[in-house]
Structure formats: structure tokens, C-alpha cells
């Protein structure tokens, strides 16, 4: 039976010192995910992009560009984009629908309501 990790992020979390220094690039974070998947016999991971984009949170298009360079990655990584009314436009939603139809992403995570700021 395949093992699927259904909730993974490629975000950089600066508060975790050891990771902040070692996994600064998106490519390194993907490599770390793949290594963890291999070490734990995980067959497939679903990477969820953040509802907002900044230096620590890659955009869905950045993740698509990285994953879809390699056919083996496409077989092991599914991408779900984040959408919220606070940070996205109707044009963003149209883009996501196109990506769904083109099978570049496998889903859309809806963040309903206002943006909450955690301490």
C-alpha cells in the first residue's frame, strides 16, 4: 500500500535555526523533502503553497516550475495552491483553474475569512 503525505509545505521557517541556515533555497528545501520521503518510505507528497507569497513562502508558480522540470518529481509530488479572498484576485482564480485543467496542480485550498496573524 502506498504511503502518501497529504500536507507538506516548502516554506522556509526562519525561527527554526538549523533549517534556516541549511535549507535557504527552494531547491534545497525540495531536496530535503525528497530525502525525508525516501528515508521514511513515503511514495507521494502533496505540497500546499501558502495563501500569501514572500521570501519564505514560494508562489505556486515557483513550485510548479521546480517540480515539473523532472518527470520523476511529477510522479512523487502533487501541488495544491492556496487561495484566499484577502490576498488573491479573480485573475488568480482563473489561473488556478487553468493549472487544474492542465494538471499542473491537483487542487485548490480555500482559506475562508480574514487573515489571522499568529504570534
Nearest to 99 by CA among 83, 80, 73, 76: 80
Q: What is the value of pTM for the model shown?
A: 0.85
Nearest to 80 by CA among 9, 32, 3: 9
Classify burial at 48, counting beta carbons within 10 Å of its beta carbon; exposed 0-12, middle 13-18, buried 19 or more: buried
User: Which of residues 52 and 17 earns the better pLDDT score?
Assistant: 52
Contact status, residue 69 vs residue 100, Cβ threshold 8 Å: no
pLDDT tens across 42-91, in order? 999 999 998 888 888 999 999 999 999 999 999 999 999 998 887 888 99
Longest Cα separation, the chain: 40
pLDDT(20) > 60: no
Q: How far is CA 89 from the centre of its chain?
A: 19
Contact status, residue 21 vs residue 59, Cβ threshold 8 Å: no
Contact status, residue 6 vs residue 48, Cβ threshold 8 Å: no
Amino acid at each position: 500500500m502506498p504511503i502518501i503525505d497529504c500536507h507538506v509545505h516548502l516554506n522556509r521557517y526562519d525561527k527554526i535555526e538549523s533549517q534556516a541556515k541549511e535549507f535557504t533555497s527552494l531547491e534545497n528545501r525540495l531536496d530535503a523533502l525528497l530525502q525525508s520521503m525516501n528515508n521514511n518510505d513515503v511514495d507521494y507528497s502533496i505540497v500546499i503553497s501558502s495563501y500569501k507569497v514572500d521570501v519564505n513562502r514560494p508562489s505556486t508558480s515557483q513550485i510548479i516550475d521546480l517540480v515539473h522540470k523532472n518527470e520523476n518529481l511529477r510522479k512523487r509530488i502533487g501541488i495544491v495552491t492556496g487561495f484566499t479572498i484577502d490576498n488573491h484576485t479573480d485573475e488568480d482564480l482563473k489561473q488556478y483553474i487553468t493549472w487544474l485543467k492542465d494538471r499542473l496542480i491537483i487542487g485548490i485550498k480555500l482559506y475562508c475569512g480574514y487573515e489571522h496573524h499568529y504570534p
